[in-house]
């Protein structure tokens, strides 16, 4: 059996257990709540997410360093970077335009009588600070998981190593070996995924149930529908039109990474798996992927943008505000910028939504209303976010001749078996 299949089976079993606990009210039982759901299940799931996070920083640093040194032409970095940034911004803007148009068209939230809920604003990151955080003490950046600063340091170090003659070669050889070891570690940890995903799903479903969705069904299903549309229609179209790749193969091979993203709600924690998927399953050259994947996990969040677009229209309708065209355009601009500024961690999208709402003059208390059901949407939009990173990575790699078509076409390439 493939690992992905096993993960999906365990995920469904976890969801079923969680729903059963919620439905029978067993999760309200003190013992269950403290020791089983909030104890055992919580710890198992959390340990797994922490072990993925443990690998992210060394993995990104080492593999990006090796990727940079392996590029034949250092000037290629510029064109890879430029194209990637352009596509990341483009896909986010497309996501927002579709989300805003659709949500406005169906008038999501109109006529709904949900009572406003108090919401305490959290500190968001200013755009200027995002720019300034690109360069930092590498050890501080690594300790804090500041992905952009790690990316910049790894690239500059990689370029310097290629120019440093014999000393550079020694360092490159060391990190090449280190890279192999880290990839082995990724494989080892991935084998624990089924059990962790079981625990995570059981906990989320036990705590949430499906009752919470009822009041917000309009908002919930609009976001969900648009997320599926983006992943199953927009990315396949872009892949086909811009690179001629078979979209069905792409979606099939993304299955594993998508399940990880869904389980962890974090693009960052999923980096090891996304990186492995695009290189070993989809045939992207490591020099490109080691840059585009961590970069995408940090700045490209199409699923998050979709949620923010719908949330703006929903909150405006709840509070009886008519959004003008200028306000809608502001949402597109602000949400695209916000997606650059936030890290790929759980609920980051909600914190960023504050800035967008403030900018268009909508009440941030609206976030309090959608907070309760955000966890399920967070899981799904994270899956879309990383699918976008992988799609753009394939398009850029193909256009730069850094792509192995035979690997892409081979259904068995990079499959992990139990
Ligand atoms: N959890 C999302 C991610 O990591 C970000 C968000 O929308 O909250 O991609």
Q: Is the pLDDT of residue 210 over 80?
A: no
User: Distance between CA atoms of 90 and 95, rounded to whole angstroms?
Assistant: 9
Report if residue 100 sits inside a domain. yes
pLDDT, average across residues 186-203: 91
The per-residue pLDDT for 308 is 95
Confidence check: pLDDT of 289 > 90: yes
Average pLDDT, the chain: 90
Cα 152 to middle of ligand 1, angstroms = 22
Q: Check whether 110 has a pLDDT greater than 90.
A: no
**What pLDDT does residue 212 have?**
67
Q: Residues lining ligand 1, CB < 6 A? A: 265-267, 301, 304, 344-349, 378, 381-382, 385
Query: How many Å lie between the centroid of ligand 1 and the Cα of residue 303?
Result: 8
Residue 417 lies in a domain: no
191 vs 195: CA distance, rounded Å: 9
- The total of structural domains in the chain comes to 1
Query: Who contacts 27 (Cβ-Cβ below 8 Å, separation ≥6)?
Result: 21, 33, 37, 206, 207
pLDDT for 379: 95
- pLDDT confidence of 159, banded at 50, 70, 90? very high
**What is the position in ligand 1's atom list of the atom closest to the CA of 386?**
9
* CATH number of the domain within which 323 lies: 1.10.3860.10
Query: What is the C-alpha separation between 301 and 343, in angstroms, rounded?
Result: 10
pLDDT bracket for residue 71 (50, 70, 90): confident
Q: Please give the distance, rounded to the nearest whole angstrom, from the Cα atom of residue 98 to the centre of ligand 1.
A: 19
For residue 270, which atom of ligand 1 is closest to its CA? Answer: 4
Structural domain for 116, as ranges: 3-409
The rounded distance, in Å, linking the Cα atoms of 233 and 321 is 31
- Quickly state the pLDDT bin for 121 (edges 50, 70, 90): low
What string of DSSP letters covers 308-374? HHHHHHHHHHHTTPPPPHHHHHHHHHHHHHHHHHS-SSTTHHHHHHHHHHHHHT--TTHHHHHHTTH
Measured from the Cα of 346, ligand 1's closest atom is 1
Query: Three-state SS string across 202-226, please?
Result: HHHHHHHCCHHHHHCHHHHHHHHHH
Average pLDDT (289-294) is 94
Nearest alpha-carbon partner for 88 in 300, 232, 344? 300
What digits encode the pLDDT tens for the residues 295-340?
999 889 999 999 999 999 999 998 888 888 888 998 999 888 887 7
Residues 126-139: tens digit of each pLDDT? 777 778 888 999 99
Atom from ligand 1 closest to the CA of residue 350: 8
Q: How far is the CA of 387 from the centre of ligand 1 (A)?
A: 13
Residue 347 confidence (pLDDT) above 90: no
Region 216-245 average pLDDT: 96
* CA 293–ligand 1 middle distance (angstroms): 15
Which residue would you say has higher pLDDT here, 324 or 232? 232
DSSP 8-state secondary structure symbol assigned to residue 116: P
CA of 409 to the centre of ligand 1 (A): 30
Residues 214-229 have pLDDT tens digits of: 778 899 999 999 999 9
Ligand 1 atom 1 nearest Cα = 346
Which of 125, 382, 389, 390 most suits a substitution to test ligand 1, by most atoms within 8 Å of the C-beta? 382
pLDDT value at position 294? 92
pLDDT value of residue 18: 92
The answer, yes or no, to whether residue 125 has pLDDT greater than 70, is: no
Nearest CA owner, ligand 1 atom 6: 349
Does residue 190 lie within any of the structural domains? yes
pLDDT of residue 118: 64
- Whether residue 266 is predicted with pLDDT greater than 70 in this model: the reply is yes
> 193-208 and 374-399 are packed helices; what angle lies between their axes, rounded to 10 degrees?
140
Q: What pLDDT is attached to residue 255?
A: 93
Is residue 328 included in any domain, yes or no? yes
For the CA of 304, the nearest atom of ligand 1: 7
Q: What is the mean pLDDT of residues 350-360?
A: 87
Mutation to probe ligand 1, out of 269, 304, 306, 376 (largest number of atoms < 8 A from CB): 304
- Give the pLDDT score at 51: 92
Q: Take atom 7 of ligand 1 and give the residue whose Cα is closest.
A: 349
**What's the gap in Å between 379 CA and the centre of ligand 1?**
8
For position 307, what pLDDT does the model report?
96
At residue 48, the pLDDT reads 92
Contact criterion met (CB below 8 Å) for 193 and 3: yes
87 confidence band (pLDDT: 50, 70, 90)? very high
| Ligand 1 geometric centre to CA of 60 (Å) | 18
Report yes or no on 416 lying in a domain. no
* pLDDT for 116 beyond 70: no
- Among 98-107, 120-129, 149-158, 288-297, the range scoring the smallest mean pLDDT is 120-129
What is the pTM for the complete model shown? Answer: 0.90
- Position 120 confidence tier, pLDDT thresholds 50, 70, 90: low
Please indicate, yes or no, if residue 151 is contained in any of the structural domains. Answer: yes
Q: Which of 345, 380, 384 to mutate to test the pocket of ligand 1 (most atoms within 8 A of CB)?
A: 345
Ligand 1 centroid – CA 172 distance (Å):
34
Residue 246 has pLDDT above 70, yes or no: yes
The fraction of the chain above a pLDDT of 90, given in percent, is 61
Structure confidence by residue, pLDDT tens digits, 359-375: 888 888 888 889 888 98
């Amino acid at each position: 059996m493939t690992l992905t299949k096993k993960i999906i089976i365990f995920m469904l079993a976890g969801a079923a257990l969680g729903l059963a606990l919620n439905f029978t009210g067993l999760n309200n039982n003190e013992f269950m709540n403290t020791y089983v759901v909030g104890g055992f299940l919580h710890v198992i799931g959390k340990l797994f997410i922490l072990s993925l996070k443990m690998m992210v920083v060394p993995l990104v640093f080492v593999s990006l360093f090796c990727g940079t040194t392996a590029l034949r032409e250092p000037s290629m970095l510029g064109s890879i970077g430029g194209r990637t940034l352009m596509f990341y911004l483009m896909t986010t803007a497309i996501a927002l335009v579709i989300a805003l148009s659709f949500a406005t068209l169906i008038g999501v939230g109109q006529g709904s009588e949900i009572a406003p809920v108090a919401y305490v604003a959290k500190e968001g990151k200013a755009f200027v600070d995002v720019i300034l955080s690109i360069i930092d003490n590498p050890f501080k950046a690594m300790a804090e998981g500041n992905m952009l600063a790690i990316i910049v340091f790894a690239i500059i170090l990689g370029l310097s190593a290629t120019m440093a003659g014999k000393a550079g070669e020694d360092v490159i050889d060391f990190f090449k070996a280190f890279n192999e070891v880290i990839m082995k570690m990724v494989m080892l940890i991935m084998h624990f995924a089924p059990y962790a995903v079981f625990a995570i799903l059981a906990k989320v479903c036990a705590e949430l149930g499906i009752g919470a969705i009822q009041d917000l069904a309009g908002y919930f299903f609009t976001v969900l529908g648009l997320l599926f549309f983006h992943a199953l229609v927009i990315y396949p179209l872009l892949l086909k039109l811009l690179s001629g790749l078979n979209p069905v193969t792409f979606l099939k091979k993304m299955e594993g990474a998508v399940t990880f993203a869904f389980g962890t709600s974090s693009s960052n924690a999923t980096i090891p798996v996304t990186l492995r998927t695009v290189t070993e399953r989809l045939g992207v050259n490591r020099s490109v992927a080691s840059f585009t994947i961590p970069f995408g996990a940090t700045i490209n969040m199409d699923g998050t943008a979709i949620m923010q677009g719908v949330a703006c229209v929903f909150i405006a309708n709840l509070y009886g505000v008519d959004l003008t065209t200028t306000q809608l355009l502001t949402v597109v601009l602000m949400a695209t910028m916000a997606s650059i500024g936030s890290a790929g961690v759980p609920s980051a999208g909600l914190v960023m939504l504050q800035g967008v709402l403030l900018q268009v003059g909508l009440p941030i208390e609206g976030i309090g209303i959608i907070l309760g059901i955000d966890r399920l949407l967070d899981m799904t939009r994270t899956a879309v976010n990383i699918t976008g990173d992988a799609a753009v990575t394939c398009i850029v790699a193909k256009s730069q001749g850094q792509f192995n078509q035979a690997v892409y076409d081979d259904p068995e390439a990079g499959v992990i078996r139990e």
